[in-house]
Amino acid sequence: MRYVVTGGAGFIGSNLAEQLASDGHEVVIVDDLSTGRRENIKDLIGQSRVTFIEGSVTDLDLLVDVCRGANGIFHQAAVASVPRSVANPRETNEVNVAGTVNVLWAAKECGVSAVVAASTSAIYGNDPVFPKRETMAPTPLSPYAVSKLAGEYYGKVFSDLYGIRTVFLRYFNVFGPRQDPDSEYAAVIPKFISRLIDGKPPIIYGDGEQTRDFIAVADVVRANILAMENSASGVFNIAGGSRISLNELAGNLSAITGIHLQPLYEPPRPGDVRDSLADISRAGEAFGFSPRYTLDEGLRRTVAWFHNGSP
């Protein structure tokens, strides 16, 4: 198969592109390197069946060019940070909403039959009902969450109007190799690990009793491929199906690294969700997804990658 991966030099996208290439598919990576890194795909670029194109999903003409002859599109490109979206909602809208419409339009123009796209659990906001199910009314708290919800709606409309099969995967808290700890808006696990390795205490925003449903990136990659290879369409939660507090997470990482430092506590950040827990049964029923990695296994693989540069 020939697949296009937008955001393919990013954290999730590069892991996905690597697996697709390993499976023998032709892979076209599109990334403007604004948050993605060439280092993430350095081992892929030299392969005969992998093409890297530096460009943005905001460039419709480019997308139409690269999507010709594709069997499917994995749309991972996004401004994928709640704090960044709060700081710059216009940029978030341009990339996440207009960029998703461009991807869907390119699929329509090029006769691509399926688009599997990244969405987010942030759409659920602080609804007090747990676990989160796809049928719940959205209550987004940030421009990021709003932009992802708009993308889902566009996906449904393009499916209904133009016959493109669209799947939007609501990622919960993804972690693993290649997640950048140095970004101002880095996710919690790489931040915790990198600070511990550097001999610094992890920083927790809030009281640390907020909970997250973490999932290893290898499981997210598998969910994307399963969704593409099956006939499913619609919106699906992709998560581990259990939750842990940030205080407990910090303790677990201290135990794994052998570095014991008391966390520093900072004020909560605007737009952050308090608690998170997914019902993942719908994805299991539709395309056979269930996580293979426990949180502990995933954390150990991630710590090893931070130490050695490989999982």
pLDDT > 90: percent of the chain: 92
The dihedral of CA 14, 218, 92, 84: what is its sign?
A: negative
CA distance 292 to 49: 28
Per-residue pLDDT reduced to its tens digit, 213-239: 999 999 999 999 999 999 999 999 999
Which among 2, 52, 53, 56 has a CA at the least distance from the CA of 24?
2
pLDDT > 70: percent of the chain: 98
Q: Which residues contact 306 (CB under 8 A, 6 or more apart)?
A: 181, 190, 193, 194, 197
Give residue 309's pLDDT. Answer: 64
**What is the mean pLDDT of the segment spanning 41-61?**
97
Q: Would you place residue 186 in the very low, low, confident or very high pLDDT band (cuts 50, 70, 90)? A: confident
**What is the mean pLDDT of the segment spanning 98-112?**
98
What structural domains does the chain harbor? 2-175+214-240+277-292 (3.40.50.720)
Q: Would you place residue 185 in the very low, low, confident or very high pLDDT band (cuts 50, 70, 90)? A: low
Catalytic residue among 144, 154, 171, 293: 144
Give residue 311's pLDDT. Answer: 44
Check if the beta carbon of residue 253 is closer than 8 Å to that of residue 296: no
Rounded to whole angstroms, what are the CA distances from 74 to 203, 249, 294? Answer: 33, 31, 25
User: Does residue 144 have an active-site annotation?
Assistant: yes
**What is the mean pLDDT of the segment spanning 196-213?**
96
Residue 259: CA count within 13 A, CB half-sphere: 16
Q: Which residues contact 212 (CB under 8 A, 6 or more apart)?
A: 172, 173, 188, 243, 244, 246, 249, 276
- What is the gyration radius of the CA atoms in the chain, in angstroms? 18
Task: Kindly tell me if the per-residue pLDDT of 257 is higher than 70.
Answer: yes
Give residue 95's pLDDT. Answer: 98
Q: Phi first, then psi: what are they for 159, rounded to 5°?
A: -65, -45
Quote the mean pLDDT of the chain: 96
**What is the mean pLDDT of the segment spanning 230-258?**
97
